[in-house]
Amino acid sequence: MQPTLPDPNAFAALAVAILFGIVVWDAYWLTRQRIDVPTLGELPNGGFAWESEGAQEVIRQWGNLGSMAAMMVLPWGLVGVSNTNPAYAVAWDVCLTLHLVSLLVPKRYAVTRTHAFADGQRYDWQRLKLARRQPTRRIMLLRKGWGVFGPLPLGGAQPDLSIARERIVLALDSPALWPHNLAAKEQE
């Protein structure tokens, strides 16, 4: 007796539904960043907020963009072989296209004495560290305990990244020297 394989259309529907859920989840966090980082520039608590540009997001996301392109092409080779309805491959590509657009939308970032804000998330400095080798056009933070799966690249213009890098080093190494703490010490 030959084992029966699952219905390819049911499997394709499940894959598209999962991908759609991921796209909606990422869209939520993308809109969330405007709530968490409403203003740009110097922040009242000594923090700093900035926004990247589309070209900087291309540099930041280059690996993901290549992966997405491969993932868009892959199902088309399997549609005919598996007798799957091509509408699922079209839906898959539409979802990935929406995800690609969300990757390229300019992002807002902020660093404060206690947290980094990136991609709609808030990260406690105790969970982050600077990568030993820093790329030239972005700041590379690493999530502790995640190994190679934990890079957190921050994009932006070089002047903004220079200010942010200084604040990140202070937050990680010497939180007592945070800019608003320095101003208070100078007034004493």
Query: What is the tens place of the pLDDT at every residue in 47-105?
Result: 999 998 888 888 778 888 888 889 999 888 888 888 889 999 999 999 999 998 888 88
Considering only residues 178 and 103, tell me which one the structure prediction assigns the higher pLDDT: 103
pLDDT at 182 over 60: no
pLDDT score of 55: 82
Which class for 106: exposed (0-12), middle (13-18), buried (19 or more C-beta within 10 A)?
Answer: middle
Q: How large is the angle between the packed helices 62-82 and 86-104, nearest 10 degrees?
A: 180
Which class for 68: exposed (0-12), middle (13-18), buried (19 or more C-beta within 10 A)?
Answer: middle
Considering only residues 6 and 94, tell me which one the structure prediction assigns the higher pLDDT: 94
Q: What is the DSSP letter of 126?
A: G
Q: How confident is the model at residue 147 (pLDDT cuts 50, 70, 90)?
A: confident
- Sequence-distant (6+) residues with CB within 8 A of 144 are 126, 127, 128, 129, 150
Query: What is the tens place of the pLDDT at every residue in 7-42?
Result: 889 999 999 999 999 999 988 888 888 888 889 999
pLDDT at 154 over 70: yes
Q: Average pLDDT for residues 117-140, to the nearest whole number? A: 88
Q: How confident is the model at residue 123 (pLDDT cuts 50, 70, 90)?
A: very high
